[in-house]
């Protein structure tokens, strides 16, 4: 008897190709699209067009399709923390929280309640079983690897997850969709946050949390006032342009202080750091000892750099072999060994 897998169909090419591959592998496939924003949303991954495309893919593949409303948990678990993070002077990663609570939380709960054995998505990531453990491995397509965003996964989660695209490249996914005659085969990718129109996060925050407009001082690392700012939420670590100050040497944002409402600027050298303190740590696989030697990354679009992970609790430190540019509190830091994701956490603010 074929085992049942629920596939998250977003209306894009990756999830469409994943569903097709699972059919080829003999699974009984069910397509599910999560509606996490109001129907009038125009961003591609959450729009009415995306839902219609998902349904057309399901029809073409001959699989059932369901639309599941997760608007409330999405607001509580993803949107609200995103807003609060900026108010606190940190840079959030809402995609990681969406993975944890929506894609692999609410969607798996729906799948489980409806008798599914597995949940699958179009993420570019591999799974490997060894010695009774399941490892999250970086994708074959390094340019699309999404393992970094899955640092919150546990062994319990991984036991029912499938990632059909981990051994494929993006062009392969389009070829698979084209072979099945799917409407998504040549659909453009969305690079936007689904709930932030045109990726204008500043305009989004001003509209939805007007208290972000809170002027304060721009100071140097010695506390000297150099100018004023319109709100710490509008600045990022490492930013050089648009600071509204004059200086005899280039100045960069090195800290956003929500307590004093100050934007702290410094020299280029002061933007580099060797050590990162992380909190809310999750270990994807059990570790032995307090030190892990491997490679780490502090943002999605970087290659992991040689580093040591020091600690075994909910807070740890990452010591990089070479200083890293613009380490941003609120973002994710992830640790790898031989392409396997070992642990991750949220970068903590500097004292």
Percent of the residues in the chain that have a pLDDT greater than 70, as a whole number: 97
**pLDDT tens digits, one per residue of 282-306:** 999 998 888 999 999 999 999 999 9
Give catalytic residues, as residue numbers: 98, 194
pLDDT in tens, 320-335: 999 999 999 999 999 9
Any idea what DSSP says for residue 54? Answer: H
pLDDT given for residue 248 in this prediction:
82
pLDDT digits 0-9 by tens, 75-110: 999 999 999 999 999 999 999 999 999 999 999 999
193 band by pLDDT with thresholds 50, 70 and 90: confident
pLDDT (tens digit, 9 = 90+) per residue, 245-280?
A: 888 889 999 999 999 999 999 999 999 999 999 999
Residue 31 in tokens: 């397509």
Say if residues 6 and 118 touch (Cβ distance below 8 Å).
Answer: yes
Alpha carbons 316 and 295: distance in angstroms, whole number: 15
Closest CA to 253 of 350, 154, 174: 350
Are residues 18 and 7 in contact, defined by beta-carbon separation less than 8 angstroms?
A: yes
The dihedral region occupied by 68, where left means phi > 0, alpha psi between -120 and 50, and beta the remainder, is beta
pLDDT tens digits for 16-74? 999 999 999 999 999 999 998 876 666 656 678 889 999 999 999 999 999 999 999 99
Residue 332: the pLDDT is 97
Q: Is the pTM of this model over 0.85?
A: yes
| Burial tier of 207 (Cβ tally within 10 Å: 0-12, 13-18, 19+) | exposed
Mean pLDDT of the chain: 93
- Report the pLDDT value the prediction gives residue 41, as an integer from 0 to 100: 65
Residue 55, token pair as written in the block: 């349904």
Say what the pLDDT of residue 39 is.
65
Q: Which residues contact 71 (CB under 8 A, 6 or more apart)?
A: 35, 36, 37, 38
Q: How far apart are CA 126 and CA 306, in angstroms?
A: 22
Q: Domains in the chain, ordered, with CATH?
A: 4-122+164-198 (3.40.50.620), 213-267 (2.30.30.280)
């Amino acid at each position: 008897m074929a085992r049942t897998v629920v596939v998250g169909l977003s209306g894009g090419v990756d999830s469409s190709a994943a569903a097709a591959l699972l059919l080829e592998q003999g699974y009984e496939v069910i397509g599910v699209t999560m509606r996490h924003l109001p129907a009038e949303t125009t961003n591609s991954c959450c729009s009415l067009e995306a839902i219609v495309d998902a349904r057309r893919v399901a029809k073409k593949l001959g699989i059932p399709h369901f639309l599941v409303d997760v608007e409330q948990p999405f607001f509580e678990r993803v949107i609200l923390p995103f807003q609060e993070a900026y108010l606190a002077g940190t840079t959030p990663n809402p995609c990681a929280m969406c993975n944890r609570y929506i894609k692999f939380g609410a969607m798996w709960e729906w799948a489980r309640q409806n008798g599914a054995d597995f949940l699958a998505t179009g993420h570019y990531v591999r799974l490997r079983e060894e010695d009774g453990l399941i490892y999250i491995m970086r994708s074959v397509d390094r340019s699309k690897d999404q393992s970094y965003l899955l640092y919150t996964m546990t062994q319990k989660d991984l036991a029912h997850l499938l990632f059909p695209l981990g051994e494929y490249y993006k062009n392969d996914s389009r070829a698979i969709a084209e072979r099945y005659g799917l409407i998504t085969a040549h659909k453009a990718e969305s690079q936007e946050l689904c709930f932030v129109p045109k990726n204008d996060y500043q305009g989004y925050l001003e509209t939805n949390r007007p208290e972000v407009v809170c002027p304060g001082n721009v100071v140097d690392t010695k506390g000297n006032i150099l100018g004023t700012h319109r709100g710490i939420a509008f600045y990022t670590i490492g930013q050089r342009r648009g600071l509204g100050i004059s200086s005899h040497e280039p100045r960069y944002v090195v800290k956003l202080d929500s307590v004093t409402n100050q934007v702290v600027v410094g020299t280029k050298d002061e933007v580099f750091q060797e050590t990162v303190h992380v909190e809310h740590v999750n270990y994807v696989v059990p570790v032995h000892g307090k030190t892990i030697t491997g490679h780490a990354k502090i943002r999605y679009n970087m290659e992991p750099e040689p580093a040591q992970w020091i600690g075994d609790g909910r807070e740890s430190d990452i010591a990089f072999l070479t200083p890293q540019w613009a380490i941003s509190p609120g973002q994710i830091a992830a640790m790898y060994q031989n392409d396997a994701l070992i642990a991750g956490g949220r970068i903590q603010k500097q004292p």
